[in-house]
A = this chain, B = another copy of it.
Amino acid sequence: MEHEFLEWLRPRLPPHPNLRLGVGDDAAIVTLARDAGCVVSVDLLSDGVDFRLAEVDPRRVGRKALAVNLSDLAAMAARPLAAVVALNLPRTGALQLAQTLYEGLLPLAAEYDLAIAGGDTNVWDGPLVVCVTVLGEARPERALRRSGGQPGDCVLVTGPCGGSILGRQFDFTPRVREALLLAERYEVHAAIDISDGLALDLSRLAAASGCGAVLRTSDVPIAAAAHELARQQPELGTPLDHALGDGEDFELLLALSPTEARRLLADQPLSGQLQAIGELTLELGLWEQRPDGTHSPLQPRGFVH
């Protein structure tokens, strides 16, 4: 199966200036810019856990498996270079499934100028498992981290959150270009991508920075899908609940000094989506600030692995 699949795949892989040796040897060789560090991230997605193959086009699964990793590179402001893709395919229809996954994955790779450098294609009696590892490059001292935030920093989000389960969980845009632009032009102290939920991921950025965080919940941009979901199933919570806890938004949370945040918000270099939603604080923990100025503890809701 693997041999047949590679025969199909090989002519579909364009050359890439950083790929010195690609699919077909024991390992691949990727070159980096001088002074760049190799930024690496892995995500493993499984049928029944991260998607339901019976309900979703495998193209969207293939796309998502790469996109979640690109989002991790975005959170570091790293430039994507290459990916390796390991698959566990259900025995029946394995070759066709592999091809369909790649039909979703390859266009996204092309869009982000990313080489498919290699992989491991297996057939088994279990459900589909897709494990993508991405390599990117960034100068180590320039890469964004979760841990660089400071008390008093403004917290910004790159777009609206909530309700990703209605489709955005597959079709989201990893904020790679946005992160590279922001890290180039502004002094960003810390960043994280919202994979598990705005509240939970903000609490992680704050904790990694040795800070707490206050969230102005009335300023949180709420996705149309979060409103839709609240209309469809009011028992699951308000649109704000969805925005805070759903996860898989893959927007970025950024911490910048108040001065730098003001400059960034005035510029709005990302066509107006950037929104200030809170501050990092000396006091640890996660807090909600209501429009009347009162504070209360906020549950760091989200998806816990």
List the number of copies, as a whole number: 2
Q: Tell me the dominant secondary structure on chain A's binding face.
A: strand
Output the least CB separation between A59 and chain B (Å): 21
CB-based contact A26/B48 at 8 Å: no
A2 to B, closest residue via Cβ: B305
Q: How far is the CA of A142 from the CA of B172 in the complex (A)?
A: 40
Q: How far is the CA of A73 from the CA of B3 in the complex (A)?
A: 21
Q: How far is the CA of A192 from the CA of B1 in the complex (A)?
A: 21
Tally of A interface residues using CB under 8 Å: 66
Is A156 in contact with chain B by the CB < 8 A criterion?
A: no
Pick from B76, B121, B131: contact of A305, CB under 8 Å: B121
Instruction: List 22 A-B residue pairs with CB atoms under 8 Å apart, sorted by A's residue number.
Output: A20-B37, A21-B140, A24-B208, A26-B41, A26-B72, A26-B75, A27-B40, A29-B143, A31-B140, A34-B34, A38-B135, A42-B131, A42-B133, A44-B86, A44-B131, A46-B126, A46-B129, A84-B133, A126-B126, A129-B129, A131-B131, A135-B135
Binds B, one of A7-15, A102-110, A112-120, A234-242: A112-120
A1 to B, closest residue via Cβ: B305
Chain B residues contacting A161 (CB-CB under 8 Å) are none
